[in-house]
Amino acid sequence: MKYADMAQAQAAVLIAEMEKGHPFLPFLKPGDPALVNGLPYNPTTGRAYRGGNMVMLWIAGMVEGYEDRRWLTYKQAQAIGAQVRKGAKSVPLRYVIYPERDGEGVLTSSTPRPFHFSVFNAEQIDGMPLAPSREMPAPEQRNAQCYALLRSSGAVIEHGSSSPHYSPRLDRIGLPHPERFVSEEAYLATALHELAHWTGHASRLNRDLSGPFGSLSYAREELVAEVSSHLMGVELGIGHDPSQHAAYLSMWIQIAKEEPACIYQAAASAEKVCDFLEIERYRHEPLVAQEQEVAVESVAVPVRAMLEMGIGF
């Protein structure tokens, strides 16, 4: 199945799940800090897939019931002495090589060039080593990292509001006092969600924040913040509770029907949020040295393109 066809099919899956009344996007499950061991990643590099590729693998794993988060190509499996089972179905992914400038500042090409590759889940492969676990820092350390991120962002945060919000006009985050939350982690997760909205200001990532509550524009931005919250919750180890955003389901369903690629676009925006906030990405110990991984793929791809488009690099 081609990437575009897969995206269309996955959009239909998401719509069906949300129409069942799930209180959150079905692949963004609530995250227990003790269980968030990472995102879909390539074990030959140790790096998580990014953007649309991340979402593609999230949904594929949800549909097939895979517990293993590792995804790799046929040749990468062979390179570590493993073997994809006969008849196993792969998931198509893609990355884009953007035009770069030569030594004289001249563009090497006029348009971006998409490249496609396919990956298999580790549960489809014989001979895979056991998946490594991620050692989580103590709660105090995790929370301290979150407070440090909030401080270093420079965002203005005012406490005492009746509900969490971000005001684009005032460029300020409003939060209830910390003691009103069920836990310190719940307070921090909410603060980071609003911080994701804060990055969309015109002076930062310049997303459309003009829509009033209840509008499709507002719902699109909420989708970006929701995926961003999940990414930050995983990387910082505090988990994520998306259940409070059930109010947006009907609008997300409408958007997904009209724009099947909306979730992939939201994921790409969420990656930019994490990059803007300079959140350190967790990386597992790679199974294969980087030089060997590139040789196996026999594709020379600029690092910037790989990171932007989500190849497991």
Angle between the N-to-C axes of helices 216-236 and 262-276, in degrees from 0 to 180, rounded to the nearest 10: 50
Sign for the pseudo-dihedral over CA of 153, 307, 123, 27: positive
Greatest mean pLDDT range, 25-34, 104-113, 202-211: 202-211
pLDDT band (50, 70, 90) for residue 239: confident
d(Cα 303, Cα 224) in Å, to the nearest integer? Answer: 25
Give the pTM: 0.84
Q: Which helix (H) or strand (E) holds 102?
A: none
Give yes or no for residue 102 having a pLDDT over 80.
no
87, 124 Cβ separation under 8 angstroms: no
Q: Edge to edge, what strands does the sheet with 91-97 contain?
A: 71-72, 113-121, 91-97
- What digits encode the pLDDT tens for the residues 241-297? 776 667 788 898 899 999 988 989 999 999 999 999 999 988 889 986 434 443 333
